[in-house]
Amino acid sequence: MNAASLIQAVKDRFPDGVKASHSYRGDATVILGREFLLEAARKLKEDTVFQMNFLMDLTAVDFSTFGTKRSPAFFANSGIAVSPSPEIPDADPWPGPPGGHPSAGAAPGTPGTARFVVVYHFFSLPLKHRLRLEVPVGEAEEAEPEVDSLSSLWAGADWLEREVWDMFGIRFRGHRHLKRILMYEGFVGHPLRKDYPVNKRQPLIGPVN
């Protein structure tokens, strides 16, 4: 199934759950409400139209500083001339209001008002099609973002969800053993959050440097 009909098929089944969708160069993406996630995932796995039996990736994005500052050019302070060529436009690659929702006309990728987006990549081995599911979590007033665990449907989600918990601090409801997978016990904070200081070190041994 192609990207447009995949998106339409999801929309038909979850008319309330699908907040927005886009397909950039054939990559179908559906932005789904959090409360519909488990149901939609089960549908994607078991419905004969989708047959998404392979969860390829599960990760998250922190949008809290998205669009608020420009990323510095590589080696900008090294004295080496690395400024981009004039053919490359200097404009913001993500125009639109920061935090604007795709349905409101902003570029795809901005999550609305939510801080995080949990991203799921599904693939169907029998039908050879892919779908990306984005679930916005963590509104401003929410201290501990939480989303349903998919480990009951795909066993491979277990470690991926532990990684997302470790790096972003997003909890997964129904996960049987949610503990850090990459960082060590005693590590404080979640290092891939944008508010984790880049220089902050928590060594187990030796000086803090």
Binding site for other proteins (CB under 8 A): 182-184, 191, 196, 198-207, 209
Query: Least distance to other proteins from the beta carbon of 98, Å?
Result: 26
Phi/psi region, residue 86 (left: phi>0; alpha: psi -120 to 50; beta: rest), is alpha
Query: Least distance to other proteins from the beta carbon of 163, Å?
Result: 14
Residue 168 DSSP SS3: helix
Identify which of residues 4 and 76 has a Cβ nearer to other proteins in the complex. Answer: 76
Tokens of 136: 């916005």
Cα(6)–Cα(23) distance, rounded to whole angstroms? 10
State the angle between helix axes of 37-46 and 3-13 in degrees (0 to 180), rounded to the nearest 10.
Answer: 120
Query: Least distance to other proteins from the beta carbon of 184, Å?
Result: 5
Query: Least distance to other proteins from the beta carbon of 73, Å?
Result: 16
Identify which of residues 113 and 202 has a Cβ nearer to other proteins in the complex. Answer: 202
Identify which of residues 26 and 206 has a Cβ nearer to other proteins in the complex. Answer: 206
Query: Least distance to other proteins from the beta carbon of 2, Å?
Result: 39
Identify which of residues 81 and 205 has a Cβ nearer to other proteins in the complex. Answer: 205
Tokens of 88: 């490359």
**Could you give the angle at the alpha carbon of 32 between the alpha carbons of 136 and 130, nearest 5°?**
110
Identify which of residues 103 and 202 has a Cβ nearer to other proteins in the complex. Answer: 202
Residue with tokens 């795709």: 102
Query: Least distance to other proteins from the beta carbon of 59, Å?
Result: 17
DSSP result, 74-141: TTTTSSS--PPPTTS--S-SS-S-TT--GGGTPPTT--TT-SEEEEEEEE-TTT--EEEEEEEE--TT
Identify which of residues 48 and 209 has a Cβ nearer to other proteins in the complex. Answer: 209
Residue 40 DSSP SS3: helix
